[in-house]
Amino acid sequence: MDAAQPLKAVTPLDVFLAFLKQGLTAFGGPVAHLAYFRREFVERRGWISEAAYADLLALCHFLPGPASSQVGMAIGLRQAGLAGALAAFAGFTLPAATAMIAFAALAPDLELRFGSGWIHGLKIAAAAVVLQALVQMARTLARGPVRAGMAIGAAAGLVVAQGPVAQVGAIVAGALFGLALLRDAPAADEPDALPPVDTGSAIIALTIFGGLLLALPLLATLLQNPGLGLSAVFYRTGALVFGGGHVVLPLLEREVVDRGWLDADTFLAGYGVVQALPGPLFSFAGFVGAAQTFGPRGVVGGLIALFAIFLPSLLLIVGVLPFWDRLKREAWARGALAGVGAVVVGLLAAALWDPVLGTTIGRPSDWALLAAAFVFLTVARLPPWLVVIGFAVATGLLLG
């Protein structure tokens, strides 16, 4: 579908099924997820334009929480309102969350049983998907010497200075350069600029966000309720973690392992398994909630942890997106957003280099596998899920 065509009515069920497909096939972590989303919702379905997608990427890198899940919620919110945002969250998270809650009841020996080769194949294919998205986004968002220079500069800077603070700094710098040098940027397409919720609802969502952050730990202490205590820990983690899924590991370790709710070996075993699953890394919370010994355990504990860690992201997207859309319609802001779009390309390039390639390429043959996966995606035009599964099976048989 051409992204310029008028948008057709999309139901929450449509959103759920679209994101369920991503939840079943989007391997490789948050950077790869954003590449899969772009392929599905910008190129194939035309639900959002390239420029508007870059705007969402920038917004979600400013906010705490899992960036890929937030982008998914924002796309669902645009298509089908609050029900669409919930449907996007449910579809994308359900497969990995179900697997992680189930894994909490099993011995952590999947790698011993099936070998590590299939995991390596998943990572190779995911890296190829990110590379494809980088090339295609650069053609649109880094056109011309000014934007290309901004993208290259951002990529070089973020390779040297890593972390969420550096990412936010790069986006701010891109906005300032864009404001100065890209004032002729065209206005966003009107379908992408329509606010999905009204200002009053947005303010209510932001009020609930702050209220829960303060109230949950107080209520847990006053009522001595383990379920509320569990909710408070995971809500605080989801509300305060910047940098995505990988950053949640040390935060949750301090909150859960240091309190004696879960032993370190079990904690790390669960985190290792979630790396091999499609969908958001924050679904690791389902495992921790199901396996911990402080509050409700099993399915109930897993569901409490999952909803608590993702709820801040939903409230922030609903609360911030209308104001973000209003800002985009201002003429003075279009240049800044064009600069942000160029920097997003650099951000993706830096993430491709480290951690995607840094943790994937270990020997010369891996480069050949990466090139082969890229050819399958760009020349043969095979769907990403087929390439991912194919490489997982092939490398699993070859490497064991």
In the chain, what are the domain boundaries? Answer: 9-191+201-400
Non-local CB neighbours of 47 within 8 Å, separated by 6+ positions: 7, 10, 41, 75, 78, 79
Q: Phi and psi (nearest 5°) for 76?
A: -65, -40
Between the alpha carbon of residue 311 and those of residues 112, 269, 282, the distances in Å are: 35, 25, 12
Q: Report how far residue 389's alpha carbon sits from residue 176's, in angstroms, rounded to the nearest whole number.
A: 42
Q: Report how far residue 399's alpha carbon sits from residue 298's, in angstroms, rounded to the nearest whole number.
A: 35
For residue 3, the model assigns a pLDDT of 43
Q: Report how far residue 191's alpha carbon sits from residue 34's, in angstroms, rounded to the nearest whole number.
A: 21
For residue 188, the model assigns a pLDDT of 52
For residue 242, the model assigns a pLDDT of 62
Non-local CB neighbours of 138 within 8 Å, separated by 6+ positions: 148, 151, 345
Tokens of 140: 């649109």
Closest C-alpha to 61, from 343, 360, 274, 368: 343
For residue 65, the model assigns a pLDDT of 84
With 0-12 CB in 10 A as exposed, 13-18 as middle and 19+ as buried, what is 366? Answer: middle
Cα angle: 377, vertex 66, 320; to 5 degrees: 110
| Residues in the chain with pLDDT values less than 50 | 1-7, 190-193
Q: What does the chain come to in residues? A: 400
Tokens 């609802």 found at: 201
Q: 194: which DSSP letter?
A: S
For residue 272, the model assigns a pLDDT of 65
Between the alpha carbon of residue 95 and those of residues 17, 32, 117, the distances in Å are: 12, 17, 22
Average pLDDT, the chain: 83
For residue 1, the model assigns a pLDDT of 42
Tokens 């309102």 found at: 81
For residue 199, the model assigns a pLDDT of 87
> Per-residue pLDDT tens for 335-364?
877 887 788 788 888 878 876 788 788 888
Radius of gyration for the alpha carbons in the chain, expressed in angstroms and rounded: 21
Q: Report how far residue 72's alpha carbon sits from residue 69's, in angstroms, rounded to the nearest whole number.
A: 5
Instruction: Please check whether residue 175 is in contact with residue 330, taking contact to mean a CB–CB distance below 8 angstroms.
Output: no
